[in-house]
Chain A
Amino acid sequence: QVQLQESGPGLVEPSETLSLTCTVSGGSLNNAYWAWIRQPAGKGLDYIGRIYSSGSLYYNPSLKSRVTMSIDMSKNRFSLEMSSVTAADTAVYFCAHYKQYCTAGNGGNCFRYFDLWGRGTLVTVSP
């Protein structure tokens, strides 16, 4: 089955750039959306953004000025960069598969949800 695995430095200095990669195994990145979501310790889930296999992007406006996502089809992985980090960016970062589809026929419904998640990786921003 498809599995996602985040990787990257666990410690980043303030004002530096956070860089994470999500490697997908057991499946292809093709024709799918891939997302990043983070969770500060003891808090809820915050959506960072998503990338389509074609490279189409959407970033949460609250982070847009600092976030860059990319995708590498040859290595079956996608990446997140977040610049000018502060302590407020300390969190567990999850990558996820974002499923979006519509059922066929008249009255068909469309659905959107995150159906597969990586285990998450803790990134601490500290000197």
Chain B
Amino acid sequence: EIVMTQSPATLSLSPGERATLSCRASQSVTSSFLSWYQQKPGQAPRLLIYGASTRATGIPARFSGSGSGTDFTLTISSLQPEDSAVYYCQQDNSLPPTFGGGTRVEIK
């Protein structure tokens, strides 16, 4: 199965700063099969980005995704207090679908 590795494990930034989250796959992933999710404590994950770069319905424009092959990035252009959460990447290029271990974003 494809192993997804996310870095850093934790990111601590101030409001208004730019957050850059990395996701690396153990094998090449077709971009259209790479997604990002946001999970807040006690809640279900929420789809943020699919197809590596397409925002899901209702997701603010400060969230953007990029990348190809084995390296993908989620960028939050200007952090807001409500962005405090764990972010997961997920591949669906080959079975079984797999998730990264997550990056926790903390707002100072």
User: Is the A/B pair a real complex?
Assistant: yes
Query: Which of B32, B43, B44 has the most chain A CB atoms closer than 10 A to its own CB?
Result: B44
Decide if B96 touches A61 in the complex (CB within 8 Å): yes
Which B positions have Cβ atoms within 8 angstroms of A?
Answer: 32-33, 35, 37, 43-47, 50-51, 54, 56, 88, 90, 92, 95-102
User: Which residues of chain B have C-beta atoms less than 8 A from A46's C-beta?
Assistant: 99
> Does A105 belong to the interface (CB within 8 Å)?
no
Decide if A113 touches B98 in the complex (CB within 8 Å): no
Decide if A112 touches B101 in the complex (CB within 8 Å): no
Which A positions have Cβ atoms within 8 angstroms of B?
Answer: 44-47, 58, 60-62, 94, 109-115, 117-120
A47 to B37 Cα, complex, angstroms:
14
Besides A47-B96, A47-B99, A110-B32, 14 new A-B residue pairs in contact (Cβ under 8 A), listed by A number: A44-B100, A44-B101, A44-B102, A45-B88, A45-B90, A45-B99, A47-B97, A47-B98, A94-B45, A112-B35, A112-B92, A114-B35, A115-B56, A118-B44
For the complex, would chain A's binding face be called helix, strand, loop or mixed by DSSP majority?
Answer: strand
User: Which residues of chain B have C-beta atoms less than 8 A from A61's C-beta?
Assistant: 96
In angstroms, how far is the closest chain B Cβ from the Cβ of A51? 14
User: Which residues of chain B have C-beta atoms less than 8 A from A112's C-beta?
Assistant: 32-33, 35, 92, 97
In angstroms, how far is the closest chain A Cβ from the Cβ of B36? 9
B43 in complex: contacting residue of A44, A115, A119, CB < 8 Å: A119
In angstroms, how far is the closest chain A Cβ from the Cβ of B7? 14
Decide if A113 touches B50 in the complex (CB within 8 Å): yes
Decide if A117 touches B46 in the complex (CB within 8 Å): yes
Decide if B32 touches A109 in the complex (CB within 8 Å): yes
User: Which residues of chain B have C-beta atoms less than 8 A from A113's C-beta?
Assistant: 35, 47, 50-51, 90, 92
A111 to B95 Cα, complex, angstroms:
14
